[in-house]
Amino acid sequence: MATYLVTGGAGFIGSSIADALLSKGETVRIIDDFSSGRRQNVEALGGKVEVFEGSIVDPEIVKKAMHGVDVVFHQAAIPSVARSVEAPQRSMLANVQGTTVVLDVARSSGVKRLVFAASSSAYGNTPTLPKVETMTPAPLSPYAVAKLTCEHLLRVFASLYGIETLSLRYFNVFGAKQDPTSQYAAVIPNFITAALRKERPVVYGDGEQTRDFCYIDNTVGANLLAANTKNKLSGEVINVACGDRISLNQLIGHIGDIVGQKANPEYRETRAGDVRDSLADISAAQKLIGYEPKIRVREGLEKTVEGFKKFTKVD
C-alpha cells in the first residue's frame, strides 16, 4: 500500500483529493497551516488522516509529514490572483519557496512522484484559443509568475534528481467546498450565494469574459490518474479542464435557472491581473494520463448549488 501526502490538504481541492484517496482505502496525510484552508474540511474526513499543522516553508515540518511517503499531491499555496497583487511578497514566499522546500524534501525522502497544482493563469492574455501547453506563457500577476516558476522547478528536479513530477494546469475549478465568505472567493461561489440570497451578483468587467470552468470531481480524477499512470513523468505540464468555455453572463444565467432566481448583475471595473478569455486544449492530458472530464459545467453547477444550499444563510 502506498502512502500519500496532500500539501494544502485543508483546502478546497486538497481536501477533495484526500477524501477520494480515503474512499479507496489509501493511507493519507495532510499538511496545512490553515491560513486559507478550513478546519471543517479536515473534520469532514472523519479523523482518518494524519494532520501536520505547519507551513510548507518550514523544512522540519515538511520532513516529518513526508517521512515514508510515496506520492505527494502538492496543492498548498496562497490562492488568488487578487491576493497576490495586493501582497506579492507573501504570495511568492509561500508559492515558490514553499514549493522549493517540498521538492527538496521529497527528493531526499525518497518520494517516487509529485503532482503539482499549476494554474492556467500562466498563459496570461494571449489571444490564441484554445490554450495549448506549448504556447509561450505570459503571466499577468505575481500568482501566475509563481505558479509558472514552480513548473520550471518541477522539471529541473525531475531532470537533476530523477523524481517523477507532473504539473496540472487547473482551469477555474469549482465545487461545493469552496469558501464563499472569503473576500477572494471565486466567481461561482459568489454568484451562487448571491442567487440564493436574492442579491445582485458583482461582475468585474462586462461579463463577456470567458472561462473554462472545471468541476472538482474532474480535477480530483486528473490527480489520481497522474499518481497512478504507468507512463514515466519527467516534469511535463498538462491542462486540466473541460475544453469548453462560457461567459460570466451565461454562467449567471445558468445559476439563475437552477436556483429559480433571475439575476440583475452589478458590473464593476475590471480587476488588475484578470485574463479576458480562457479555454483549454486537453489533448495532452488525454494522451499522457488518460484524462477525460466526466462532469460538464451545467451538471457541476447543479451539484454545487445543492451543496451551497446546506450552509448558505438566506434571510
Tens-digit pLDDT profile for residues 242-274: 999 999 999 999 999 999 988 899 999 998 878
pLDDT at residue 1 tops 90:
no
Q: Which domains does the chain have, with CATH numbers?
A: 3-173+216-243+282-289 (3.40.50.720), 187-210+244-278+296-309 (3.90.25.10)
Q: Over range 296-304, report the average pLDDT.
A: 96
Residues 209 and 245: beta-carbon distance below 8 Å? no
Q: How many CA atoms lie within 13 A of 204 on its CB side?
A: 13
pLDDT at residue 311 tops 80:
no
pLDDT at residue 183 tops 80:
no
Sign of CA dihedral 258, 261, 266, 267: positive
pLDDT at residue 315 tops 60:
no
pLDDT for position 80? 85
pLDDT for position 184? 60
Q: In Å, what is the CA distance from 151 to each residue of 95, 156, 157, 255, 278? A: 11, 9, 10, 34, 19
How is residue 263 written as a grid cell? 439575476
The pLDDT tens digits for 106-129 are 999 999 999 999 999 999 988 899
At 6 the three-state DSSP class reads strand
The pLDDT tens digits for 57-88 are 999 999 999 999 999 999 999 988 889 999 99
pLDDT for position 54? 98
pLDDT at residue 181 tops 80:
no
pLDDT for position 164? 98
pLDDT for position 313? 64
pLDDT for position 314? 58
How is residue 151 written as a grid cell? 513548473
The phi-psi region of residue 109 (left if phi > 0; otherwise alpha if psi is between -120 and 50; otherwise beta) is alpha
* Summary mean pLDDT of the chain: 94
The pLDDT tens digits for 193-223 are 999 999 999 999 999 999 999 999 999 999 9
How is residue 116 written as a grid cell? 503539482
pLDDT for position 271? 85
Quick one: pLDDT band at residue 186, thresholds 50, 70, 90? confident
Residue 75: closest CA among 222, 228, 188: 222
Residues 101 and 88: beta-carbon distance below 8 Å? no
pLDDT at residue 283 tops 70:
yes
